[in-house]
Each structure stands twice: as C-alpha cells, then as structure tokens.
Amino acid sequence: MQHNMIEHSTVFSVVELLQADLIICATGFIETFPFLSETLTKTLVKNRTKSTSDEGIDLDLYRRIIPVGIPNIAFIDLPAPIHTWMFCEVQCHWMSDYFLGRIKLPNTEKEMYEEIETSRQFIYKMFKRKSYYFQYYWLEPMEIYLRDMGVSLYRTNNWISEYFGVYHPKRLSTLHDEREAKVEGKTTNFWYFSFQHTILLFLLPLFIWFF
C-alpha cells in the first residue's frame, strides 16, 4: 500500500486519509522501544517476568496491535510470521478500521488481557519463544483480523484453491473495497464454489439416474 506524508496525516494510494501525529518506522530482530517513555513502557508490559527475555520486550497488545487502555497508539508488523508482508497488510487494514471506530472491542479490559495471555501461552507452547514469533502460524491470526473487519474469510472463488492453493497477495487485493462496501451497506457479489457444492454436483447425476 503506497502512501505519501502530509502534515499530521498519511495519504494512502487508495485515497484514504489517516491522521497521525507521529509514525515511527523501525526494524530489528530484538524488540526494544527506546522511543517510549519508561512510564508508557511499564503500562504496555503488565507482567515483566513473563514479558521480557533476551529476545526483547513482549508488549501486551490486543490482537498484537493495540495496547489496552491507550486508544491512540498502534504497533504494526510486530509479530514475525513467514508471510510478513501479507500479514502486515491485513494488520494495516485492521488498524485503519480500528481508528475509524469500526472494530468492535471486548466489553472489558479484562477480556482483552485474557486474549493477550491466551495468545502468548499458545505461541510459547508451540515454538518455545515469546508471543510475537509466529513463524508458520500466520493464517489463523489473519483470518481473525478479517473476521473482526466483517469481510469474507474466503479469498478465492472455490474451496480447492482456497485450501490447497498458494496464498498469493492477490487474495487481499480487494480488501479495501470490501471494507468500504461494508460501511456503505452494499452487498459484495462474491460467488464461492464450496465443498458442499461439489458434493451436490456429484449427487445430482445419481438423483437423475435413479429418479
């Protein structure tokens, strides 16, 4: 998603304006946040015993993007899955919907922290690493973002390519249009040939033959 900067705003190539006082671009294999104050860092890491290691600081972020109780900050592409660029793309769309007030959050902060800890424990059990080392665990979190945004989880037009095809970036090419259609109350015309359709297609000749 290409973008240009103007004062206090980012203009995306899809003609979408997102106001931002500050955008920090940072890379690295060890997560440290020297640009955050000590007070803010303590707020973002409630349990420092479980959330810090020689790999860096493991921030408490709902959906791995937003801190609990701080509505004007978001972290993009902090997790490290194999499909980083597509994962980051979906996170950006989720973040945009969040700042536009379209994402339904849990009713309480307690529920948000429970989701954070559940995710943390799952990743640790799977990979013995802190909760942002997703590695090959990337599709389910992406689908969680899609579900939160209220768009289709099916990104192709049939179940064979959906479940056995390569997950190309093209699958996400209509995501912005889908989001806007949802806001405008429009129905997205999308035909999906499911496994159930395949079964019916095989049963139809048998039905005709016997009846």
Instruction: Tell me whether residue 143 is in a domain.
Output: yes
Instruction: Tell me whether residue 176 is in a domain.
Output: no
Average pLDDT taken over every residue of the chain: 82
- State residue 175's pLDDT score: 93
What pTM did the predictor assign?
A: 0.81
| SS3 per-residue string spanning 1-32 | CCEEEECCEEEECCCCEEECCCCCCCCCCCEC
How confident is the model over 51-55, as a mean pLDDT? Answer: 51
Domain count, the chain: 1
Instruction: Tell me whether residue 171 is in a domain.
Output: no
Q: Are 179 and 93 in contact (CB under 8 A)?
A: yes
> For residue 135, what is the enclosing H or E element?
none
How many other C-beta atoms are found inside a 10 Å radius of the C-beta of residue 105?
15
Instruction: Tell me whether residue 160 is in a domain.
Output: no
Expressed as residue numbers, the domain containing 92 is: 3-150
How confident is the model over 175-191, as a mean pLDDT? Answer: 86
Give the span between the Cα atoms of 8 and 57, in whole angstroms: 29
Q: Is residue 50 over pLDDT 70? A: no
Q: Are 1 and 12 in contact (CB under 8 A)?
A: yes
How confident is the model over 160-185, as a mean pLDDT? Answer: 91
Q: Is residue 197 over pLDDT 80? A: yes
Instruction: Tell me whether residue 25 is in a domain.
Output: yes
Over residues 119-165, the pLDDT tens digits come to: 888 888 887 777 677 777 888 889 999 999 999 999 999 999 999 99
Instruction: Tell me whether residue 198 is in a domain.
Output: no
Instruction: Tell me whether residue 172 is in a domain.
Output: no
Residue 2: which pLDDT band, with cuts at 50, 70 and 90? very low
